[in-house]
Amino acid sequence: MKNFAVVCLLLLSAVLPVYAQNPAAQKPPTKPSPFELANHIGEPNARTFFLFSTSIGNYALRQDGMGEITSPAGMRKVFNVKVGPGRRIERVYSYEYQGDVLLLYETTDSGYLVRLSQKTRKVKATIAVSRGFTPPALKDQQIVFSDGTIVTLD
């Protein structure tokens, strides 16, 4: 039993100084992002689509920003999001929030966060974000990006 206690003390004395010098080891784990990556269909330099679903229906978003929602009853409605002339959407994340859908997407030269009403299919807000973002966390009705950008949702 004494040998076990001595081994434990030796291990602790070796690990604690390393832990104290590494501030990242002391941070509590961050919550995973609620944003989900949309399925990507198509070729990089041809027509491509990003597919995802919400409680309202199934979405298809084309590389040029033209989108379509199909309800469970089979009704199709269109919408558009900002892309820019000659630009293409490269990846899309979605998150359903208070009846709206938040689209986080990256184009060839920028990133955007769009709040889209699922009922009217109207864009409520478009916010430019940095390209190359990682999916952000949601904390206290705010979207928090890893670069420090904070977007308030209400």
- Look at residue 119 and tell me if it is in a domain: yes
pLDDT at 30: 57
Confidence band for 8, pLDDT divided at 50, 70 and 90:
very low
State whether residue 95 is helix, strand or coil. Answer: strand
Helices (H) and strands (E) in the chain, counts: 2, 13
Q: What is the CATH number of the domain that holds 57?
A: 2.40.128.650
Number of domains in the chain: 1
> Residue 41 belongs to what domain range?
34-152
Report CA-CA distances (Å) from 41 to 44, 59, 62, 67, 95: 9, 13, 10, 14, 19
| R_g of the chain computed on alpha carbons | 22
pLDDT at 21: 54
- Look at residue 124 and tell me if it is in a domain: yes
